Each structure stands twice: as structure tokens, then as C-alpha cells.
């Protein structure tokens, strides 16, 4: 049975190996940030990080997580210091209903780890999370702002 960490806490999982990570996070860990949208890996509402990469937790079985490091939106900030993507999201006022937003933020945070300054084309190509409210314009602006904030913190 897999042993993994969730937001830095070690977890020994002994339940159904086929349980989707999203169910485990929400129902057994009380981490409700990741959302259920399609349940089929399509919409991205359930996006978390697994070993630093964006992963759709609704289609990630617990059995696949031996030794994995999982980060959810609840673990993204550094204590009281928001992650640059969270800060940019607030500054650009991206959210409307908010349902897709945690997944969007996690996807963007992972993107900036591999592409520190994504172009509009990179953003459109890399971010496949769906937003029913159509926040894409502000979302793109927030990605550019987050990239600037992140590079400012690094320098």
C-alpha cells in the first residue's frame, strides 16, 4: 500500500488502490480545494501537483502514488506568503465563480517551473484547463504577472 506525502505530511494509505486521488483528498483528508468537474481527466478542475508536475487527480489512482509528493492548493503558499501565482491571481482579479480556479492556479504554478516566461502561445498550448466563466483573458494576464513576480523573487 502506498506511502506518500501530502503537503509535506506523510500518509500511509491502506484503502482501495483504485480510489482516485481526488476522492481521497476531498473525502478523507478534508482538502476541498481541488474540485470535481468531469471526473474524466478533461476539465482540469481537480489539478494538483504530483512530484512537482500538474496532475489530474480524478484519474490518478492511489496505487500509482507510492513515494509520491503531492501538493494541493492548500499547500501551495509558503506559510503566510502567497505563491506568486496566487498573488497575481488576486491582482488581476481572475476568478468569477471560482470553481475552476484552484485547478488553473496549480496548472500555472507547474508551468512556470518549466517555462519561466511563457508566451501567449505557450500559455494557450500548455493550459488546457476549462473555465465555464471564460476567464481566459485575465488568466493570461495573470500568468504574465506571476512570471514577473516569480523572477523578481528569484533575483
The string of DSSP letters for 67-134 reads T-EEE-GGGTSBTTBPPHHHHHHHHHT--SS-TTHHHHHHHHHHHHHH-SS--HHHHHHH-----TT-
Q: At its nearest, how many Å lie between ligand FES and the CB of residue 24?
A: 14
Q: At its nearest, how many Å lie between ligand FES and the CB of residue 20?
A: 8
- How many residues in the shown chain lie near ligand FES by CB under 6 A? 23
Q: Does 46 bind ligand FES (CB under 6 A)?
A: yes
Q: Does 72 bind ligand FES (CB under 6 A)?
A: no
Q: Does 45 bind ligand FES (CB under 6 A)?
A: yes
The 3-state DSSP class for residue 5 equals strand
Q: What nine digits make up the cell of 132?
A: 465555464
| Contact window for ligand FES (CB under 6 A) among 63-71, 76-84, 112-120, 132-140 | 132-140
Q: Angle at CA 64, nearest 5°, toward 63 and 67? A: 100
Q: Does 147 bind ligand FES (CB under 6 A)?
A: no
Q: At its nearest, how many Å lie between ligand FES and the CB of residue 93?
A: 11
Find how far residue 146's CA is from the centre of its chain.
Answer: 15
Of the two residues 1 and 91, which places its CB atom closer to ligand FES in the complex? 91
The 3-state DSSP class for residue 33 equals coil
Q: Does 19 bind ligand FES (CB under 6 A)?
A: no
> What's the full length of the chain, in residues?
155
Residues that bind ligand FES (CB under 6 A): 36-39, 41-46, 56, 58, 95-101, 131-133, 135
Amino acid at each position: 500500500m502506498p506511502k506518500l506525502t501530502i503537503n509535506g505530511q506523510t500518509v500511509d494509505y491502506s484503502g482501495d488502490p483504485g480510489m482516485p486521488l481526488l476522492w481521497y483528498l476531498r473525502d478523507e483528508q478534508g482538502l476541498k480545494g481541488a474540485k470535481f468537474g468531469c471526473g474524466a481527466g478533461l476539465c482540469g478542475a481537480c489539478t494538483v501537483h504530483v512530484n512537482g508536475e500538474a496532475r489530474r487527480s480524478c484519474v490518478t489512482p492511489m496505487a500509482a502514488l507510492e513515494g509520491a509528493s503531492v501538493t494541493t492548493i492548500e499547500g501551495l503558499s509558503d506559510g503566510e506568503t502567497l505563491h506568486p501565482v496566487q498573488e497575481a491571481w488576486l491582482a488581476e482579479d481572475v476568478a468569477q465563480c471560482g470553481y475552476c480556479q484552484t485547478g488553473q492556479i496549480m496548472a500555472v504554478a507547474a508551468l512556470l517551473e518549466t517555462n519561466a516566461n511563457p508566451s501567449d502561445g505557450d500559455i494557450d498550448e500548455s493550459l488546457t484547463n476549462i473555465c465555464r466563466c471564460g476567464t481566459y483573458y485575465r488568466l493570461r494576464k495573470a500568468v504574465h504577472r506571476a512570471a514577473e513576480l516569480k523572477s523578481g523573487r528569484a533575483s
